Amino acid sequence: MTHGRGGGKSKMAAPMEVAVCTDSAAPLWSCIVWELHSGANLLTYRGGQAGPRGLALLNGEYLLAAQLGKNYISAWELQRKDQLQQKIMCPGPVTCLTTSPNGLYVLAGIAESIHLWEVRGAKPEGSPGHLAVSASPAGAWRPGTVTHC
Protein backbone atom coordinates (compact mmCIF):
# COMPACT_ATOMS: atom_id res chain seq x y z
CA MET A 1 0.00 0.00 0.00
CA THR A 2 1.26 3.51 -0.69
CA HIS A 3 0.29 6.50 1.37
CA GLY A 4 0.70 10.20 0.51
CA ARG A 5 1.90 12.52 3.24
CA GLY A 6 2.09 16.28 3.70
CA GLY A 7 2.19 18.93 1.03
CA GLY A 8 -0.12 21.77 0.16
CA LYS A 9 -3.17 21.73 -2.03
CA SER A 10 -1.17 22.43 -5.17
CA LYS A 11 1.48 19.74 -4.56
CA MET A 12 1.03 16.00 -4.94
CA ALA A 13 2.54 14.13 -1.99
CA ALA A 14 5.17 11.56 -2.82
CA PRO A 15 3.96 8.01 -2.22
CA MET A 16 5.61 5.94 0.48
CA GLU A 17 5.54 2.26 1.34
CA VAL A 18 3.53 1.38 4.41
CA ALA A 19 2.34 -1.72 6.23
CA VAL A 20 -1.22 -1.96 7.54
CA CYS A 21 -1.39 -4.28 10.52
CA THR A 22 -3.89 -5.55 13.02
CA ASP A 23 -3.50 -7.20 16.40
CA SER A 24 -6.48 -8.93 17.97
CA ALA A 25 -4.93 -8.35 21.41
CA ALA A 26 -4.60 -4.56 20.93
CA PRO A 27 -7.46 -2.95 22.88
CA LEU A 28 -6.64 0.63 21.81
CA TRP A 29 -6.77 0.30 18.01
CA SER A 30 -8.22 -1.89 15.31
CA CYS A 31 -5.58 -1.23 12.62
CA ILE A 32 -2.28 0.59 12.55
CA VAL A 33 -0.26 2.00 9.61
CA TRP A 34 3.54 1.82 9.82
CA GLU A 35 6.03 3.51 7.49
CA LEU A 36 8.30 0.65 6.35
CA HIS A 37 11.66 2.40 6.16
CA SER A 38 11.62 4.38 9.43
CA GLY A 39 9.19 2.21 11.42
CA ALA A 40 7.16 5.31 12.30
CA ASN A 41 3.52 4.92 13.31
CA LEU A 42 1.59 7.07 10.81
CA LEU A 43 -2.05 6.32 11.67
CA THR A 44 -4.21 4.25 13.96
CA TYR A 45 -7.81 3.29 13.25
CA ARG A 46 -9.98 2.74 16.31
CA GLY A 47 -13.19 0.80 16.60
CA GLY A 48 -12.83 -2.75 17.85
CA GLN A 49 -10.42 -5.57 17.21
CA ALA A 50 -9.89 -6.84 13.68
CA GLY A 51 -9.49 -10.58 13.32
CA PRO A 52 -6.93 -12.57 11.31
CA ARG A 53 -7.53 -12.56 7.52
CA GLY A 54 -9.82 -9.61 8.15
CA LEU A 55 -8.13 -6.61 6.49
CA ALA A 56 -8.84 -5.44 2.94
CA LEU A 57 -8.41 -2.30 0.85
CA LEU A 58 -11.37 -1.28 -1.26
CA ASN A 59 -10.33 0.47 -4.47
CA GLY A 60 -7.51 2.28 -2.64
CA GLU A 61 -10.13 4.48 -0.95
CA TYR A 62 -11.34 2.49 2.08
CA LEU A 63 -9.76 0.28 4.70
CA LEU A 64 -12.07 -2.58 5.69
CA ALA A 65 -11.67 -4.64 8.86
CA ALA A 66 -13.72 -7.68 9.89
CA GLN A 67 -14.25 -7.33 13.62
CA LEU A 68 -13.20 -10.32 15.72
CA GLY A 69 -16.29 -12.30 16.77
CA LYS A 70 -18.68 -9.52 15.65
CA ASN A 71 -21.26 -9.42 12.86
CA TYR A 72 -19.98 -6.30 11.11
CA ILE A 73 -17.15 -4.97 8.99
CA SER A 74 -15.64 -1.60 9.91
CA ALA A 75 -14.87 0.79 7.04
CA TRP A 76 -12.69 3.89 7.17
CA GLU A 77 -12.17 6.34 4.32
CA LEU A 78 -8.39 6.63 3.86
CA GLN A 79 -8.29 10.31 2.89
CA ARG A 80 -10.58 11.45 5.72
CA LYS A 81 -8.80 13.12 8.64
CA ASP A 82 -11.43 12.50 11.35
CA GLN A 83 -11.47 8.71 10.73
CA LEU A 84 -15.23 8.29 10.84
CA GLN A 85 -15.94 4.57 11.19
CA GLN A 86 -18.77 3.15 9.11
CA LYS A 87 -20.21 -0.34 9.64
CA ILE A 88 -21.31 -2.93 7.11
CA MET A 89 -23.71 -5.24 8.95
CA CYS A 90 -23.37 -8.98 8.27
CA PRO A 91 -25.56 -12.02 9.07
CA GLY A 92 -22.87 -13.44 11.39
CA PRO A 93 -19.23 -13.09 12.48
CA VAL A 94 -16.85 -12.60 9.55
CA THR A 95 -13.95 -15.08 9.41
CA CYS A 96 -12.22 -13.79 6.25
CA LEU A 97 -12.51 -10.73 4.03
CA THR A 98 -11.33 -9.57 0.61
CA THR A 99 -12.28 -7.19 -2.19
CA SER A 100 -12.19 -7.56 -5.96
CA PRO A 101 -9.22 -5.95 -7.75
CA ASN A 102 -11.55 -3.51 -9.56
CA GLY A 103 -13.15 -2.38 -6.28
CA LEU A 104 -16.68 -3.35 -7.29
CA TYR A 105 -17.22 -6.21 -4.81
CA VAL A 106 -16.63 -7.10 -1.17
CA LEU A 107 -16.48 -10.81 -0.29
CA ALA A 108 -16.68 -12.23 3.22
CA GLY A 109 -16.60 -15.70 4.72
CA ILE A 110 -19.42 -16.02 7.25
CA ALA A 111 -20.06 -19.40 8.90
CA GLU A 112 -19.89 -21.90 6.01
CA SER A 113 -20.93 -19.41 3.31
CA ILE A 114 -19.28 -16.86 1.07
CA HIS A 115 -21.17 -13.56 0.98
CA LEU A 116 -20.80 -11.11 -1.89
CA TRP A 117 -21.72 -7.43 -1.81
CA GLU A 118 -21.69 -5.04 -4.73
CA VAL A 119 -20.26 -1.60 -4.04
CA ARG A 120 -22.79 0.92 -5.34
CA GLY A 121 -20.54 3.94 -5.45
CA ALA A 122 -18.20 4.84 -2.68
CA LYS A 123 -19.35 8.46 -2.61
CA PRO A 124 -22.96 8.99 -3.69
CA GLU A 125 -23.98 12.60 -4.23
CA GLY A 126 -25.17 14.38 -1.11
CA SER A 127 -23.25 12.11 1.28
CA PRO A 128 -19.49 12.49 0.78
CA GLY A 129 -17.45 9.81 2.43
CA HIS A 130 -20.32 7.30 2.59
CA LEU A 131 -19.71 3.73 1.50
CA ALA A 132 -22.80 2.09 0.02
CA VAL A 133 -22.92 -1.69 -0.36
CA SER A 134 -25.85 -3.93 -1.13
CA ALA A 135 -26.40 -7.69 -1.08
CA SER A 136 -25.89 -9.38 -4.39
CA PRO A 137 -28.91 -11.02 -6.07
CA ALA A 138 -27.25 -14.44 -5.62
CA GLY A 139 -27.06 -13.94 -1.84
CA ALA A 140 -24.69 -16.43 -0.25
CA TRP A 141 -22.95 -19.45 -1.75
CA ARG A 142 -22.60 -22.60 0.33
CA PRO A 143 -20.22 -25.44 -0.54
CA GLY A 144 -22.02 -28.25 -2.36
CA THR A 145 -24.83 -26.06 -3.69
CA VAL A 146 -25.44 -24.70 -7.17
CA THR A 147 -26.78 -21.19 -7.66
CA HIS A 148 -28.59 -20.44 -10.93
CA CYS A 149 -28.56 -16.86 -12.17
Q: DSSP secondary structure string, 70-98? A: SSEEEEEETT-SS--EEEEE-SS-EEEEE
What's the pLDDT tens digit per position in 61-89?
A: 888 999 888 899 988 888 777 777 888 88
Query: How much is the pLDDT for 93?
Result: 93
Name the band, by pLDDT with cuts 50, 70 and 90, for residue 132: low
Ranges of each domain in the chain: 49-135
Name the band, by pLDDT with cuts 50, 70 and 90, for residue 134: low
What's the pLDDT tens digit per position in 7-17?
A: 444 455 677 88
